[in-house]
Amino acid sequence: MFSSSSSSFLCLLIFSVTFSHVSGDKIFTGTYGVNYGRIADNLPSPQSVVTLLKAAKIRNIRIYDADHQVLSAFKGSGIGIIIGLPNEFLKDISVGEDRAMNWIKENVQPFLPGTKIRGIAVGNEILGGTDMELWEALVPAAKNVYTALERLGLAHTIQVSSPHSEAVFANSYPPSACTFREDVLPFMKPLLQFFSQIGTPFYINAYPFLAYKNDPQHIDINYALFKKNPGIYDAKTKLHYDNMFEAQIDAAYAALEKVGFDKMEVIVSETGWASRGDETEAGATVKNARTYNKNLRKLLLKKKGTPYRPKMVMRAYIFALFNENLKPGPTSERNFGLFKPDGSIAYDIGFTGLVSSATSSFLSFKGIGSLYVMVSASCGAFLLLVAL
């Protein structure tokens, strides 16, 4: 018979070699998702957002925190959510598993199983950023979050991940030449090793818009927008790319392969195109935003892979659901939204929205728990929306 201390040791030993895996299909329904950012003071209530997402048949979202009002609103919606553990919490969470356990008990467990929390993104764009203390905290924080989930019996349904920016790469052209930055590798490798053990994909924020904006003289905008263009040829792989989005995904696959993780899936955690920008922000127009997002949606709905990984179905979260009028930075940062705050479409990519974009008279639907009547001035019809 084991003593309690020897039993604990045995449990730890078993845990050290056995990890719960969450399949990609459980995390992501289909291939299309949207980022629901909320750095704004004019957005509809979370309850109304649920109605909007259902109308648009969007079944996957990411949020950048664990806001209780949002998580409550999504109860029973069936929409899969990846919540965020914000960067400012990483150092504290990295200190010990008890900190992670407390955070999960406060921000995750109370909303299960009604709210479909499918993942926790530990930080956002940490590696390649300016705070080296966060680089050091990332792996221990991710491990502590996973261990806490495992102890609560949730690791088989909630995936632990961490999205990266293109700043983790030393170069990405052509795709086969992509490598991780030398200074990033000592932190990236242990993270990839851990994520490989628990079955987590590599999440990348991939923006052809930013690449074009930074170098409009040398990048064909048609290549960035999925329009007809000569494309590029990768001599090493003998593959042709007719759009930058797929090239960026395959660049990530090439970088992963070079460090021994050739079986790891790549998922795009953010991509989008700004509909408005400063004078110095090339390409930030409504026309280009519509073209990019419409063509991207059509591509994702085909459920196909990339030239380099044809059997790995592409999945992506679009940035973003709404324009966020309080975001700092250049004008483009506040103009990535697919929808206006009134629930109408910002531009037509195939969604209907809750109200016609031509509507000029309606009542705001920012409140909670009330009946709202939005009257279309253009056709005289009306839509009853109950914010549940």
User: What residues act catalytically?
Assistant: 125, 270
Give every CB contact of residue 289 below 8 A, 6+ residues apart in sequence: 272, 273, 274, 275, 335, 336, 346, 347
Helix axes of 132-151 and 185-198: crossing angle, nearest 10 degrees = 10
Q: Identity (one letter) of the amino acid at 4?
A: S
201 prior amide bond cis, ω within 30: no
Burial zone of 231 (CB within 10 Å; 0-12 exposed, 13-18 middle, 19+ buried): middle
- Phi, psi (deg, nearest 5) at residue 81: -125, 130
Q: Longest Cα pair distance anywhere in the chain, in angstroms?
A: 78
DSSP secondary-structure letter at 156?
T
Residue 251: CB atoms within 10 Å: 29
List the beta bridge partners of residue 203.
Answer: 267
Cβ-contact 336, 273 below 8 angstroms: yes
Taking the C-alpha atoms of residue 275 and residue 323, their distance in angstroms, rounded to an integer, is 9
Strand positions, DSSP E, 220-307:
232-234, 239-241, 266-271
Give every CB contact of residue 320 below 8 A, 6+ residues apart in sequence: 34, 35, 36, 37, 272, 336, 337, 338
Taking the C-alpha atoms of residue 46 and residue 69, their distance in angstroms, rounded to an integer, is 7
Cβ-contact 339, 348 below 8 angstroms: no
- Phi, psi (deg, nearest 5) at residue 70: -65, -50
Taking the C-alpha atoms of residue 318 and residue 227, their distance in angstroms, rounded to an integer, is 19
